[in-house]
Chains A and B, each alone.
Chain A
Amino acid sequence: MRSRTVLVIGVIVLIAVVIQTTLFGRLRIVTPDVVMLVGMLLALTRVRPEAVLAVAFVSGLIMDLLGASLIGTRAVVYTTVAYVAIRTRERAELGRVTIAVWAGLLTLVGITLLIVVGTLFGQARLVGGDAVSVMILVPLANLALAALLAPPFVRLVDRDRTALRYP
């Protein structure tokens, strides 16, 4: 990766963490997981898969360190979601709608994993109070955000204005 790409990704992750822990940490109606979304959308770029996994892991670790949950919980989940995203990214190539649905489904996988891993390690409140509503609202919010942000995100990271342009 070029140093500029590293810088761009670093800044994006930092912004995502800050927004997630401040704005989206306090809203009850709109609750996306933008840090998880960044890991997914990176899979759509030219960034090497192992670098995508590393970014997902580090961003999850930062979230763990800022919260009160066990260190490594989100890191493991975000890395798994990023890996599934890398393996399934061809399915998202068809258009904006497919990217949104793909991101929504991956988020659902991520939230489910968070609940499972959290329960196994005694962190059942990892996703908040009402697990069922979280499993519905977070994927929907990420779905909407992915539809809006995926094209500009990929263009910014890859520095390619033609990326993800659909007829």
Chain B
Amino acid sequence: MVLQTPTSPNLVKADIPLADVDLKRKDYASDIDTRWCPGCGDYSILAQMQRSLSNLNVAPEKMVFVSGIGCSSRFPYYMNTYGMHSIHGRAPTIASGLKLARPDLMVFVITGDGDALSIGGNHLLHVLRRNVDVKIFLFNNRIYGLTKGQYSPTSELGKVTKSSPVGTTERPLNPLSVALASEATFVARSYDTDPQHLTETIEQAARHHGAAFVEILQNCNIFNDRAFADYTDRNVRDERLLYLEHGQPMLFGEEKDKGLAVSNTGLQVVDAHGPEAGLILNHDATRPSPDLHQLLARCAYPEMPVPMGVIRQVNAPTYGDYLDGQIEVAKFRNRHDIAQLLRGRSTWQVE
């Protein structure tokens, strides 16, 4: 059976289980003391998550956070929802089984750069490829924090860490590129020090029908301090970040005086008031092909502005839509009599 692919975002229902009373941010906080280092970017992410859920008014009993291992994976303990702090890299698998068995639940995965892209790389590819309706938040601090400072799969080439005393010898993965290579239906980026943007991004992910992937740039002030400061510091971010909005021209700069246009070799920065201004692209998050989205994902400081926001959001049936559809059709078409099933293709009588 083939499901119709919805053509407009309006056709997709958000699937958010709502609470029957108005809940505040603190209603989503558990009574466990947080144990991240003072100054860790995780605190802001936790606060914005609680704020987002409150804005959406999600029913806490219908909400499950599944995490792997690492600093970020302590996250579920601090949420007053259901949660499982599982094993290293495997949260997407547990989340997939849970969501498929319990479509009524809203399932969020909290992971880190090591958890999702190193030990759990395989699972990340497949949960996104399958479009299981879970939301994945990857806290990228480009370092192993919980094991005290070894390089991670997103650490830059040559980075000096405890396990690379004269610099790493391997190139980093770009998390957005990985997600787009899996043709994830929702791919976004935000960062810990812009609460409003982060809150909005989390809410957009929550409203997406299908697998959502959100990279959150997160500062580890102990082992990799200021990893993103070159472009996220308050005084430079307007010049160096590109805030994406679907349907809007891709402009950046304090005066919105620069924009992104397609060049012969990819994307290029053009003057928004110059002769090439007409070439500036409107951001289209919904184009089915991830080609332009990949070009955006590759934009990196210092050559290019760093994109923030929803890079890609397309509508497609989820794994659960297909699976439940097959079950529904099979129940309609075929006999489902267990006594007959036990008898098999043929039987014989012994008198």
Say whether A and B bind each other: no
